Each structure stands twice: as C-alpha cells, then as structure tokens.
C-alpha cells in the first residue's frame, strides 16, 4: 500500500457555539494531521435548516482559530476539494443519489409522516424493531414518476440488504460487527432536498479524500450505514476512530444544564487556551508516561491514535484550574503584564494608565497566588487603588497601642531613602524594629495592613516596591489617621 499523506476533517454543524467535546474532536484531528504532515480540513455541515443558527459558522471558525487549531482547508481557505460548506454542495449529493437509485441501492419514498408513525407504533407494540418496511421500494418507475410530477413530497432512502454482517475496523475499539437486518433504510435525501448527515458525510469524506474519520463515539452505531454507502458507491472505506465521550460529573454525555460546555464560556472565564488545549488533550489520551504539562507543539509530537482510551472521561474543572495556574506561571512576566493590562482595560480599570514596569512587578508578586489573571485586580486591588477599609481581624491582631509610633518611625526612615530599593525598604523596616527593641513582625503586619487593607498577600517589600515610596508613606499615614479614629 502506498502511504499517502493523511487527510482528516472536523465537521461541526453550525447550530450554536463550539462545544468543548467538539473542540477535543477537532484537536485530536488536528494533532494527527500535524504530526503526520497531513491536512486538517474544516467542513461545515449545515444540512439541517431548522437548527441552523446565523453566525454560528463564523463563530465556530473564530473559536477554532483562537484555540490555535488552524485548518488547512475549509470555508474561506479554499483548497482543491471545495466548497467546504455542505449547503453549497447540493447538486453533488443529488448526482450521487441518482447513481444509487439506478443501481437500486437507494429509492424514492413517498410515505407520509402519519404512515411512518403508525408503522413504528405498530412495530413497537409488537415488540419488534422499528424499521421502515420498504413499502416504497415496490413502486414502479411509472408510479414514482407520476408521484414526482404530482408534486408529492418525497425522500430518498438507502436500500439496506438484510441478513449480512458489516465489520468495522475501528482504530480505537478494534473490530465491531453489526447485523444489517437491524439497520434501517436510512433517509439519504430529505423532502426539502437537503442530504442527511449520513449521505453528505460519506460523499464528502470520499470526495475530499479523507483518509481517517476521527469523530465522537455517538457515531459508532451509524457507521455500518456509512460503510454500506461506501460499498454501494464502490469506494474505499476510510479508517475510523471513534472517540470516547466527554462526561458530566454524573457520567452522562457532557451537556449544558450541568455546567458550561461552550468553549467561549471558558474563554470568557479567563482560561488560557494553552491550558484548555492541554487539559482536553489529556481527557482520553496520554503518552504512557507521567507527563501532564504540554504545549501544542509537544502534543503534536507525542500524540497517537493508538493511545486514545476507550471509556468516557468526566470533565473535571479542578484539574483544569490547576493546569491553568501552571500555564500562567510558565508565561514570561512581560506576557503576563500584557494580559493584566488587557484585563484592566476590559474591566474599565484603565490598564493603559499603568507603566509596564509597575505591571511587571504586580504580576511577579501575584502569579503564584492566582489561577487566573482576572483574580489579580479582584484579590489584589490594592495595587491599583489605596485601601478604604481595613480587614477587621487583621486590625485586631496587628494594630497595637504602640503601632502608630512604630509606623511613624518607619516613615521617617523611608523618607531618608534617597534611592529606594526593595532591600532599602526592608533594611529600613528591620532597623526601625531593632532600634525600638521589637521583632520585625511588630512592624511588618501593621504596614501590610496599612498599605493593602488586608493581612495576606505577596511579600510586604514586593508590595512596597511596586507602590513606591511616596504612595507607601501616604497609605501608612492615612491608616494611622483612620484607625486612630476607630480606636
């Protein structure tokens, strides 16, 4: 067999946002394509006109691009096999069903919804399989022509020959066998003239020279229908890989109701794309070692379809949060400062009014204390606005009778610093304490309270260094005043 470059595809339907499960499917396809030097194709499956959501396709593409899953061919990036939007390929599908009809592998069906419902009810009441009874297969060509001429609505069905076995070789699950007697005569073309997923998917995968169909496990039961179609057309069947599902905490298929499922939701919450990609890559796959931290290029190197798990994986937020923190800390201070500035701007906190050096100091002191950039202005607002109140518990614990005097002593030492540095601030404080004959803690805690309003946070001298001498002195004086009134 001549080894050709693999071609894989991600084929979402534009019915809303990009689902986190869809992102993982897209990611696995992408990783496989990049690793093998193959192509990653994006195809929009918009054959259900009822569920179509305007702008969804554009949104899908934007989200994919945000996540770094750039496609080689797709809408707006035409390759040799377009168009890549199924609604623009209608004539292709009808040409192909014509061939099927000629060979009696497909047939027109004029049955009404009422007859179909009644048939199903009857079969169900007898405890039988609910399969179409091939009623319209017996129509003569004349009858078909007449009905079409009369304008009767029709669908085109696949003519499944019963009593055979269809074997599927799945890259993840091995051989899976189905009995064709249990396979329904699937509708291929709907009465609105649009193809169903089953037909469009097979025709497009073949025409677009897709070598590996990597998709969610929910497609496994309909794969024999697809194989039958490939055989009817006389086409080679691609390799299949059915991915395990992503699950809710109660182990049902990941859905809204039990949390966020849209990639946009996670993006809006402040998750880094690096963390999200890293996390979902590990949901159902691992390299066989203990490694947990990956960048995209490393995933591309390590990924393998063979090592994808068979069972579903619960989407566990806690671990995602941890990974987000890991990726956050792995970023440079300059990058983090940029992200912080963006966050401040986005929340109306005038991020552009701050100097780069200041923002760098803020992220340096905060990056090990947060999981999200968003948390910095919330948890450490004192970097941006001076405290208006002081944490009650901290005041009780750290603010003693001799505190104001000690603080004043520190202020005069600060004032004496001509070129303040972090070490300078610290030496000044320690010498103040020493001269007063008290431990440094007697001064550190009230100073922290005075300049931040709270009793926990980064190292005190890091905060002072970021705020600067003048602001620090101002805040200490302000605290002496305010807390004196209280006591």
Partner RNA sequence: GGCGCGUUCGUCUAGCGGUUCAGGACGCUGCCCUCUCAAGGCAGAGAUCACGGGUUCGAAUCCCGUACGCGCUACCA
What amino acid positions are annotated as catalytic residues? Answer: 256
CB 119 within 8 A of CB 132: yes
Q: Which is nearest to 136 in space by CA: 157, 161, 105, 121?
A: 157
CB of 102 to RNA, least distance (A): 22
CB 437 within 8 A of CB 452: no
**The binder of RNA chosen from 35, 36, 48, 147 (CB under 7 A):** 48
DSSP state of 1: -
* Positions in 77-116 near RNA (CB under 7 A): 111-113, 116
**The binder of RNA chosen from 78, 319, 416, 423 (CB under 7 A):** 319
What DSSP string describes 360-384? HHHHHHHTTT-SSTTHHHHHTGGGT
CB of 186 to RNA, least distance (A): 7
Q: Which residues pair with 169 in a beta bridge?
A: 175
**302: contact with RNA by CB under 7 A:** no
Beta strands at 39-42 and 239-243: parallel, antiparallel or unpaired: unpaired
> How many other C-beta atoms lie within 10 A of the C-beta of residue 437?
7
CB of 110 to RNA, least distance (A): 8
Residues in binding contact with RNA, number by CB under 7 A: 83
- At 174 the three-state DSSP class reads strand
Choices 7-15, 96-104, 260-268, 343-351 (CB under 7 A): range interacting with RNA: 7-15
Choices 55-63, 68-76, 288-296, 409-417 (CB under 7 A): range interacting with RNA: 288-296
What is the rounded distance in angstroms from the CA atom of residue 43 to the CA atom of residue 20? Answer: 18
CB 110 within 8 A of CB 132: no
CB 208 within 8 A of CB 43: yes
**152: contact with RNA by CB under 7 A:** no
> How many other C-beta atoms lie within 10 A of the C-beta of residue 289?
7
- At 305 the three-state DSSP class reads helix
* Positions in 126-145 near RNA (CB under 7 A): 127, 129-130, 132
Radius of gyration of the chain (CA): 32
**The binder of RNA chosen from 192, 335, 423, 470 (CB under 7 A):** 192
CB 324 within 8 A of CB 335: no
CB 481 within 8 A of CB 403: no
**The binder of RNA chosen from 133, 143, 368, 435 (CB under 7 A):** 368
Helices (H), 287-387: 296-302, 317-330, 333-346, 356-366, 375-379
**318: contact with RNA by CB under 7 A:** yes
* Positions in 444-473 near RNA (CB under 7 A): 444-445, 448, 455-462
**45: contact with RNA by CB under 7 A:** yes
CB of 2 to RNA, least distance (A): 27
Choices 72-80, 258-266, 276-284, 336-344 (CB under 7 A): range interacting with RNA: 276-284
CB of 345 to RNA, least distance (A): 25
**The binder of RNA chosen from 55, 94, 122, 153 (CB under 7 A):** 153
**The binder of RNA chosen from 187, 275, 337, 340 (CB under 7 A):** 187
- Strand extents, DSSP E, 180-229: 187-189, 212-216
* Positions in 232-251 near RNA (CB under 7 A): 244-245, 247, 250-251
**290: contact with RNA by CB under 7 A:** yes
What is the rounded distance in angstroms from the CA atom of residue 450 to the CA atom of residue 471? Answer: 11
Beta strands at 165-170 and 174-179: parallel, antiparallel or unpaired: antiparallel
Residue number, 50 or 485, with CB nearest to RNA: 50
Q: Which residues pair with 239 in a beta bridge?
A: 212
Residue number, 238 or 284, with CB nearest to RNA: 284
Residue number, 69 or 323, with CB nearest to RNA: 323
CB of 124 to RNA, least distance (A): 8
**395: contact with RNA by CB under 7 A:** no
**180: contact with RNA by CB under 7 A:** no
Q: Which is nearest to 155 in space by CA: 114, 188, 200?
A: 188
Choices 28-36, 189-197, 296-304, 400-408 (CB under 7 A): range interacting with RNA: 189-197
CB of 428 to RNA, least distance (A): 13
Count of alpha carbons within 13 angstroms of residue 54, beta-carbon side: 0
Residue number, 65 or 117, with CB nearest to RNA: 117
CB of 167 to RNA, least distance (A): 10
**The binder of RNA chosen from 53, 62, 118, 182 (CB under 7 A):** 182
What is the rounded distance in angstroms from the CA atom of residue 447 to the CA atom of residue 390? Answer: 11
Residue number, 5 or 319, with CB nearest to RNA: 319
* Positions in 49-68 near RNA (CB under 7 A): 50-51
Residue whose token pair is 């780069």: 356
**191: contact with RNA by CB under 7 A:** yes
**219: contact with RNA by CB under 7 A:** yes
CB of 416 to RNA, least distance (A): 21
Residue number, 34 or 43, with CB nearest to RNA: 43
Q: What are the φ and ψ backbone dihedral angles of 216, each rounded to 5 degrees?
A: -70, 155
- Strand extents, DSSP E, 44-154: 106-109
């Amino acid at each position: 067999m001549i080894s050709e470059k693999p071609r894989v595809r991600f084929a979402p339907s534009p019915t809303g946002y990009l689902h986190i499960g869809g992102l993982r499917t897209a990611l696995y396809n992408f990783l496989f394509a990049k690793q093998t030097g193959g192509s990653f194709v994006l195809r929009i499956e918009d054959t259900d006109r009822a569920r179509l959501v305007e702008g969804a396709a554009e949104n899908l593409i934007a989200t994919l691009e945000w996540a770094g899953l750039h496609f080689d061919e797709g809408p707006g990036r035409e390759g040799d096999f377009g168009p890549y939007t199924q609604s623009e390929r209608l004539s292709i599908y009808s040409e192909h069903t014509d061939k099927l009809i000629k060979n009696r592998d497909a047939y027109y069906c004029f049955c009404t919804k009422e007859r179909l419902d009644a048939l199903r009810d009857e079969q169900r009441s007898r405890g039988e399989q609910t399969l179409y009874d091939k009623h319209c297969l017996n129509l003569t060509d004349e009858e078909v022509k007449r009905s079409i001429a009369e304008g009767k609505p029709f669908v085109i069905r696949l003519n499944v020959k019963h009593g055979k076995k269809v074997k599927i070789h799945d890259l993840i699950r091995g051989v899976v066998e189905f009995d064709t007697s249990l396979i329904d005569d699937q509708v291929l073309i709907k009465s609105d003239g649009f193809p169903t997923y089953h037909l469009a998917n097979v025709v497009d995968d073949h025409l677009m020279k897709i070598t590996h169909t990597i998709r969610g496990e929910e497609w496994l039961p309909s794969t024999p229908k697809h194989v039958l179609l490939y055989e009817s057309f006389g086409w080679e069947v691609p390799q299949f890989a059915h991915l395990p599902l992503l699950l809710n905490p109660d182990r049902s298929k990941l859905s809204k109701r039990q949390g966020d499922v849209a990639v946009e939701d996670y993006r809006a919450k402040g998750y880094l794309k690096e963390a999200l990609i890293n996390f979902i890559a590990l949901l159902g796959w691992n390299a066989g070692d203990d490694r947990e931290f990956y960048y995209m290029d490393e995933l591309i190197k390590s990924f393998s379809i063979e090592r994808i798990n068979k069972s579903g994986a619960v989407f566990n937020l806690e671990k995602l949060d941890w990974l987000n923190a890991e990726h956050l800390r792995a970023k440079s201070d300059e990058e983090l400062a940029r992200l912080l500035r963006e966050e401040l701007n986005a929340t109306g906190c005038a991020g552009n009014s701050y100097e780069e050096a200041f923002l760098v100091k803020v992220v340096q002191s905060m990056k090990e204390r947060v999981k999200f950039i968003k948390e910095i202005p919330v948890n450490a607002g004192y970097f941006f606005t001076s405290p208006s109140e002081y944490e009650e518990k901290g005041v009780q614990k750290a603010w003693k009778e001799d505190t104001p005097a000690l603080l004043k002593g520190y202020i005069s030492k600060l004032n004496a610093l001509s070129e303040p540095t972090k070490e300078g601030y610290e030496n000044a404080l320690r010498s103040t304490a020493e001269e007063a004959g008290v431990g440094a803690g007697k001064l550190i805690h009230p100073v922290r309270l005075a300049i931040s309003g709270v009793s926990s946070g980064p190292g005190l001298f890091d905060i002072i260094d970021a705020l600067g001498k003048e602001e620090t002195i101002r805040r200490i004086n302000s605290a002496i005043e305010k807390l004196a009134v209280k006591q």
